């Protein structure tokens, strides 16, 4: 009798347990069904024409820069221009001591007299050809020495520019010992001359984009110091070699600098317009950024009304639309309700 009662109690308990599990399972299924029915607004993507733009960052530099000095060490007698002044091409910037030049000129004058006397004797046949050639060579060497010393006693501007630095002051002795500039460049000389109009901007272009770049192409440059102003320049030089580390080529863009408002060393952003093309655009509110990351994604609607979470990159924007290169022209994306979605979720489309 006791055994029958035990079996009866166990059977009843099992039935109750199964009933509870059935109710719990039914409740979970109901929650899943609710999750699958997310109300969402969708939008078909738009294929439209746009102007591709390549964007780069760069730094302004002087169009020309030279450290001027003498080939012979000596004392700087005079600096004819103050630092920061404009110097015309051919102007004498500095004058060196001329003791060696004066000595060479005296020697030249003495040799000149000997050469003229030997020349007259040669015409009479009183001097051998060897003696004549010897004094002639000596005279020409003395002339060359004087010309060389003349060039090195006057420091002349090879182009018009701004005298940005004077490394050796009046009365100091000039030598070939190099110095380090504030921008960590090793340089030597008496003065530094820069051509600041036009300026040169250097940008690094990836090897994949080089086929779209050509010399003479227009480039729009905006400096962080003047964010609302754009300066138009031209590509002047494309490096024929690539950096083995970055796989980029250095491209030089020449821009006008009237009034010298722009300075070497300024940071800038350069953009190059490409020929018109067609692309896929979506409304800006279709893009969702994952919290705590820099990743953008959209939810693409599948034929069975489920969604696929697709990571995307932002391209050009036009009238509240953004180009998305990862989508094709038949895609449909979620506009509203995306915050409640996850990959593979089912939606109910709100018309």
CATH number at residue 106: 1.10.287
* Host domain of residue 247: 56-61+196-273
222 and 264 fall within a common domain: yes
CB 309 within 8 A of CB 326: no
The answer to whether residue 21 is domain-embedded is no
Q: Tokens representing 187? A: 């340089």
Q: CATH number of the domain that 287 lies in? A: 2.40.420.20
247 and 289 fall within a common domain: no
Q: Token pair 């990351």 is at which residue? A: 293
302 and 333 fall within a common domain: yes
**Residues linked to residue 250 through DSSP beta bridges, in sequence order:** 204
Q: How far is CA 269 from the centre of its chain?
A: 8
Counting beta carbons within 10 angstroms of the beta carbon of residue 346, is it exposed (0 to 12), middle (13 to 18) or buried (19 or more)?
middle
Q: Strand, helix or coil at 104?
A: helix
322 and 260 fall within a common domain: no
315 and 333 fall within a common domain: yes
283 and 268 fall within a common domain: no
Which helix or strand (DSSP H or E) is residue 36 part of? helix 2-36
Q: Tokens representing 91? A: 């102007």
Per-residue confidence (pLDDT) for residue 25, from 0 to 100: 46
Distance between CA atoms of residues 128 and 122, nearest Å: 7
The answer to whether residue 281 is domain-embedded is yes
Counting beta carbons within 10 angstroms of the beta carbon of residue 176, is it exposed (0 to 12), middle (13 to 18) or buried (19 or more)?
exposed
- Neighbour count for residue 347 (Cβ, 10 Å): 23
329 and 313 fall within a common domain: yes
218 and 241 fall within a common domain: yes
The answer to whether residue 208 is domain-embedded is yes
Per-residue confidence (pLDDT) for residue 111, from 0 to 100: 92
Looking at 273, 294, 311, the residue that finishes a domain is: 273
Q: Token pair 């300075």 is at which residue? A: 263
The answer to whether residue 157 is domain-embedded is no
290 and 269 fall within a common domain: no
Distance between CA atoms of residues 166 and 322, nearest Å: 53
284 and 241 fall within a common domain: no
Q: CATH number of the domain that 226 lies in? A: 2.40.30.170
The answer to whether residue 145 is domain-embedded is yes
268 and 282 fall within a common domain: no
| Separation in Å, CA 109 to CA 98, 102, 114, 139, 335 | 17, 11, 9, 9, 94
Residues 6+ apart with CB under 8 A from 120: none
pLDDT per residue rounded down to tens, the chain (351 residues) = 444 555 545 555 555 555 554 444 444 544 444 456 789 999 999 999 998 888 999 999 999 999 998 888 889 999 999 999 999 999 999 999 888 888 989 999 999 999 999 898 888 888 888 888 999 999 999 999 999 888 888 899 999 999 999 988 888 888 866 665 555 566 678 999 999 999 999 999 999 888 889 999 999 999 999 998 999 999 999 999 999 999 999 999 999 998 889 999 999 999 998 888 899 999 999 998 877 788 899 999 999 999 999 999 998 888 899 999 999 999 999 999 888 888 999 999 887
Give the chain's domain count.
3
The answer to whether residue 332 is domain-embedded is yes
The answer to whether residue 8 is domain-embedded is no
Q: Name which of 342, 339, 298 is nearest 321 in CA terms.
A: 298
Per-residue confidence (pLDDT) for residue 122, from 0 to 100: 85
213 and 247 fall within a common domain: yes
The answer to whether residue 284 is domain-embedded is yes
Per-residue confidence (pLDDT) for residue 326, from 0 to 100: 93
């Amino acid at each position: 009798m006791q055994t029958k009662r035990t079996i009866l109690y166990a059977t009843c308990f099992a039935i109750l347990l199964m009933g509870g599990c059935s109710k719990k399972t039914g409740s979970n299924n109901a929650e899943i069904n609710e999750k699958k029915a997310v109300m969402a607004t969708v939008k078909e993507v738009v294929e439209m024409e746009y102007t591709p733009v390549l964007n780069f960052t760069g730094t302004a530099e002087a169009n020309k820069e030279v450290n001027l000095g003498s080939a012979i060490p000596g004392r700087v007698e005079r600096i004819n221009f103050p630092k920061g002044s404009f110097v015309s091409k051919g102007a004498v910037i500095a004058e060196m001591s001329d003791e060696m030049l004066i000595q060479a000129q005296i020697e030249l004058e003495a040799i000149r007299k000997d050469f003229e006397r030997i020349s007259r004797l040669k015409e009479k046949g009183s001097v051998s050809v060897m003696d004549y050639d010897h004094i002639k060579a000596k005279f020409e060497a003395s002339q060359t020495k004087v010309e060389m010393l003349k060039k090195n006693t006057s420091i002349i501007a090879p182009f018009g520019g701004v005298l940005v630095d004077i490394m050796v002051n009046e009365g100091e002795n000039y030598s070939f010992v190099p110095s380090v500039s504030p921008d960590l460049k090793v340089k030597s000389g008496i003065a530094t001359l820069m051509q600041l109009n036009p300026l040169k901007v250097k940008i690094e272009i990836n090897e994949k984009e080089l086929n779209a770049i050509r010399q003479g192409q227009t480039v729009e440059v905006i400096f962080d110091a003047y964010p609302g102003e754009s300066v138009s320049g031209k590509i002047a030089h494309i490096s024929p070699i690539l950096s083995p580390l970055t796989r980029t080529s250095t491209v030089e863009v020449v821009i006008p600098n009237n009034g010298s408002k722009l300075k070497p060393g300024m940071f800038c952003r350069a953009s190059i317009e490409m020929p018109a093309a067609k692309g896929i655009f979506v409304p800006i509110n279709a893009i969702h950024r994952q919290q705590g990351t820099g990743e953008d994604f959209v939810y693409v609607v599948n034929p069975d009304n489920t969604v696929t979470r697709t990571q995307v990159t932002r391209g050009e924007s036009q009238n509240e639309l953004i180009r998305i290169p990862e989508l094709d022209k038949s895609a449909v994306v979620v506009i509203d309700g995306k915050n409640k979605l996850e990959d593979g979720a089912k939606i109910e489309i709100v018309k």
